[in-house]
Amino acid sequence: MDAYFSDALIIGAGLAGERAAIEIASEGFSVNIISLVPPRQSHSNAAQGGVQASLNNTKETADDNWRIHFDDTVKGSDWGADQRVVEKICKLAPELVRQFDYWGAAFSRTKEGKINQRAFGGASKPRCAFASDETGHILLNILDSQVMALKIPIFIRRQLLSLIYTNEEVIGVTALNLVKGTIEVFTAKVIILATGGAGRLYEETTNSRISFGDGCAVALETGLVPVGNPEAIQFHPTCLVPTSILVTEGCRGDGGVLLDKNGREFMGDYCPTMKNPNLASRDVVSRSMMRHIKKNFGVESPYGPHLWLDIKRLGKEHIKTKLSGVDLLCRDYVNVNPIKEYIPVRPSQHYTMFGIKTGESCEVYGLARLFAVGECACWDVHGFNRLGGNSLLETIAAGYTAGQEAGKYLYMENTQNFSDLKIAEEYQKQTKRLEELTKNRGKENVFGVYREIQKTLTEKVGIFRKENELKEAVAKLAILCGKTQRIKLGYRETAANLELQLALRLPGMAKLALCTAQAALLRKESRGSHYREDYPDRDDKNWLKRTLAYFPEENDLPRIEYEPVEITLLPPGDRGYGEKK
């Protein structure tokens, strides 16, 4: 058995994980990072538009401050966010962004040399600091350089299999070495999950092919850790047809507009009171686009109807300097020149507001010494709808916060009762699981079951939801959960086996999908991205509360509980987008 020990262990080498690692290692503690891919290939790399922070760097943002950012975020969340956490990150944002500037991040600049900021949907000020339309790429490279300078070991090509815990206290993890095909054990005094979102649960998604929700699924399978708000799924309005690659909100923030098949700007029909209805929140714009398509104003194509995004009006120089990534994506993937042509777009799944439920300091509910950060966590910055630019902010703010808290923990609790017996038991359990999968004579094809999960969520738990379809989804996903236990592999080697890797994560993915459908069925209101056609209004009297989904091993369905959403500064009211129901 290959085993590794460190003071802190971080699973995931994206922005959140590496930011936490830097904070802990800078205090002199040993840190190990394990990752599916090399750090600079993490999904954080795909974030385009920018990071929200009230920097007051431009004429338009001279009076911006953390409180305005706070109000925008809470309204965007449809009052589902944890207001204590939102206040925390809005206050931290300027300092954290300027730290990246100090480290050398190549932000786009104003003529005066200050960090430039652009408008994003749902934000009352243009506060999104950006680096052309490759902000995630720039920030991730800067962080990874800091990690390298601190000589933090990174174990790549490792797939998380399980948490090792005793007496409701985490002591390590098991992981599959994807190159060797062997199981390894990593133990630590504190563990931070930073494994990203679960976008690959849907057929059409902007997520990269590593976003399976591994950390979230593994935590859920303990039966002790809840997933917060599993029904809260974000659909981004502008995704490239037919690839579903993200076309940044920065396009509309810089002045681009949505057009229908007649070349008409239509968003004013759906948000008539907004000054710029193209910059309503993502849930509102996505619903409006799909309603317009249903009214037969979509452009017919072999890949289904779509709408147009017009950035031609911004001009060649603007596109080549501030939207250069979009320019390349359009040319390379759909042979469209956005300087001269409209971009074909349609909403697709983009972000999981749900995740491992944590407290204000990123500590996980249900297991001590365990933290979760970034998209795999429900720190609950976003509630039921995330504002663009707040995801990058959350990664660096959560990484910073969890890193600081883990450091405090290591100073105070520098000893831990590691159970050699428990470690050995979990190692044997995962070894047996691997052997059974490679020898299993079941009849289910792993890719077929996976496609059924994706199809069920896409068709029945999408932008618009209603009771009969959600009941069908719950019933279907419960059956699929059973099928994940009867997989037959076509290729039985353990090394470099994509079929095996999917088979190992599929039971957890099916449980996550079932939590999403069950929670959406039970929440009889519309709030942010969760839109029930049979309950189209927000119901603060009965549903101003957060969903907590547990999945004990003996259960066929998740156990759904709720906790109240605490209101500290901004009571529920109108979101300000003027959406016509």
Closest by Cα among 74, 111, 115, 119 to 96: 115
Catalytic residue among 19, 69, 118, 236: 236
Q: How far is CA 146 from CA 19, 20, 100, 364, in A?
A: 9, 12, 11, 27
Element (H, E) at 348: strand 343-352
Are the C-beta atoms of residues 289 and 297 closer than 8 Å to each other?
no
- Which one-letter DSSP state was computed for residue 319? H
Q: Is-catalytic flag, 282?
A: no
Closest by Cα among 63, 64, 120, 70 to 90: 70
Q: Is-catalytic flag, 530?
A: no
Q: How far apart are CA 80 and CA 545, in angstroms?
A: 7
Closest by Cα among 299, 308, 298, 11 to 173: 11
Q: How far is CA 516 from CA 167, 202, 355, 474, 550, in A?
A: 29, 12, 11, 9, 12
Name the amino acid, one letter, at 14. G
Are the C-beta atoms of residues 402 and 379 closer than 8 Å to each other?
no
- Which one-letter DSSP state was computed for residue 205? B
Catalytic residue among 43, 137, 252, 346: 252
How is residue 199 written in tokens? 């976008």
Q: How far apart are CA 215 and CA 36, in angstroms?
A: 12
What's the burial of 390, exposed, middle or buried (CB within 10 Å: 0-12/13-18/19+)? buried
- Cα first-last separation, the chain: 59
Q: Which residues are catalytic?
A: 236, 252
